Structure 1
Amino acid sequence: MKTQVAIIGAGPSGLLLGQLLLRLGIPNVILEAKSAAHVLGRIRAGVLEQGTADLLREAGAGERMDREGHVHEGITLAFDGRQQRIDLKRLSGGKSMLVYGQTEVTRDLMAQREAAGGMTIYEAQDVQPRGFLGDRPRIDFMREGEHFTLECVYIAGCDGFHGVCRQSVPAAALRCFERVYPFGWLGILSRTPPASPELIYANHERGFALCSMRSDMLSRYYVQCTLEDKVADWSDERFWEELKRRLPPAVATTLVTGPSIEKSIAPLRSFVAEPMKFGRLFLAGDAAHIVPPTGAKGLNLAASDVRTLYQVLKIRYGQGREDVLDRYSDTCLRRIWKAERFSWWMTSLLHRLDDDPFSRRIQLADLDYYTGSVAGRTTIAENYVGLPYEEIT
């Protein structure tokens, strides 16, 4: 088997890259360890930066998103008995966010790839990228007991934090930075109307809470929990009671509750691997970095990587310039570290960090300052909607 670009991972970043390349006429094959049903079953983020939404439109996968997605022009920070709205659109020069579930993004990209005749090989086992430090990269894999080799010119590692691509890089060539947070998020999905038309981020002495949504009748809620907590410890009744305690009374009294249709606990971490290019192997998305979900940056940062890789490959195939490939890693990392900083700051600002009353007072002072200052609100808005992309020419 031969192709130009081999993409490992059929999540949204791999599918998005594959679709963008197909529209340029650049052949590519996607390898995925799990089944298509398993990939669609992953419950993930659903808040898209305007740049991410624009990229999905460029890939031809924006029609349903534009029809069913919910434009959000602001968010609310709740703390110390107050609610402060951050006017994202006004403070960021006209940008907004779009609420549209990652599952739906994946579904749309899968449909577009099938319609375009792109090849995706699901349930590919023992995937091994080889030769990427030289000029003849290939991927060996097994499927249904048979061995295959996929020869290619470039490899895109879009296979997530636990994927094989980063693990295949020589350890001496990689530098990793990590911070693991001493708490997690307990999240539920329920077929109930959202608590608010826009997201509410709550700082409470009992811990963080978030009110989000996927549609007019599909809500996503989170509460901060310990790393020792188990999903089985949290009945629906206990979750709703705890969520109400952490929300402003005006929101809690009108909250519509119902049976959860999904419930899970996610630990929080910050992680960056440098560099993101090794010969002809490019890391993208969670394969290279993880952010806490507090700043709504995970999927959006992956899309940013894909956009940069798409740009350099477009120049490589359109102009025959290989020098541009060496700009991929540094370009991505400049934006990644700014997003890491914002996600870390939001996490530190909104979560219960310890039992120290001094820390609590500092948080409230920080929130009071940033929400009470036009400059502070602008800083939040500019980072939340996504900093500008860096163009490559």
Structure 2
Amino acid sequence: MVITGYRKLSTQFRWQRAIGDANGSIADAVTEIPIVILQTDDGLEGIGIGSHADLDRLFPAIEGEDPRGVSALFDRMLAQVFKSGHAGATYGGIGALDAALWDLKAKAAGEPLWRLLGGRDRFVPGYASGLDIALDDEQLYACYASFAERGYVAGKLKGGRDLEADLRRLGIVADALSGGSRRPGLMIDANESWQLKQAVRHVSALEQHYDLLWVEEPLRRWDADGHARLSAAVRAAVATGENLTGIDQFRPFFAAGAPDIVQAGAVWGVTHLHRLALAADLHDRPISIVGHNANPAVAHVAAAIPNHLTTEVQALHTAAGIEVDQEFADGGIVLGDQPGNGISVDETLIISDGGGGWADPAGPHRRPERAGLRLLLDGAER
């Protein structure tokens, strides 16, 4: 079996709510879901979800190769873009192709990916994440109550702009999740919007009222020393790493003793998560997956690594034309027995007729000019 080609598809994910963070938001959000399908000479196809970035440059590294050598093929893709580097969007293309390669390997073996990777238990612990900064209080409660109905007892609030609002909204999230726990787990995600001392002051004030499990992306993604200093100044664990593209980018963090919780973006693929988990385990750090819905294949890795903590679940449905052999239940993700990564595509149901997306100028993927430099009082810049 060798790889002969690939094709690209896109569909839409309708969030059925506004989504956003400290950097911006999208009303009634609809975002694109890029799909990559790898083709082989024996007709078997592998499906990857994540990114279409740089596929034309990356594909020659795996064309004509046996997809079962997936770990070596991951390194070949890194070598293919050696001069320009694999950081940034290119790593997303690697991640999508990597997910499709692992799908092929598991399908060829006739096993679900979690079993092929050595997993014993099909259950993956998770937490609720509403991407919720644009929701009003009533909508916020309803969002997390829907997760609570599936057994979720921990939730992550998007915040960082208004202390009083964060205090109130953390209480709402706790109330919505309280059906399954007397003390629901609470996290707050500032999406790189603070400087170090802003983070210390804000988190310290929150901790007078709530015992936070972690504070996420409090500082710029490359500030290893700052994350370590923040961890020493607050009770909550400090979590970051979802936007670091490559295991190499974690080296200064581990050297600085940061972060407390290592995070891996789901969109970066199966091999990235697997290798990062082992590197984190060497430093006695747990690992958490960010954005499971962006690439459900990575949940299979969580079942097979020694230090998985919990996975972010942002929605309880899938995009048009995509079926995933997983169930959201009991406060986590229950993996199925379908060979491969459990993702199937019905191309007749795919919706690709435009709509809003992450690139919206008012959305969360555009950093405000004054982010990290704003003097915020009562939630407004002064």
Task: With the length of structure 1 as denominator, give the TM-score of the two structures.
Answer: 0.24
Higher helix share goes to which structure? 1
Higher relative contact order (CA 8 A, sep 6+): 2
The two structures have a TM-score, normalised by structure 2, of 0.24
Greater C-alpha Rg = 1
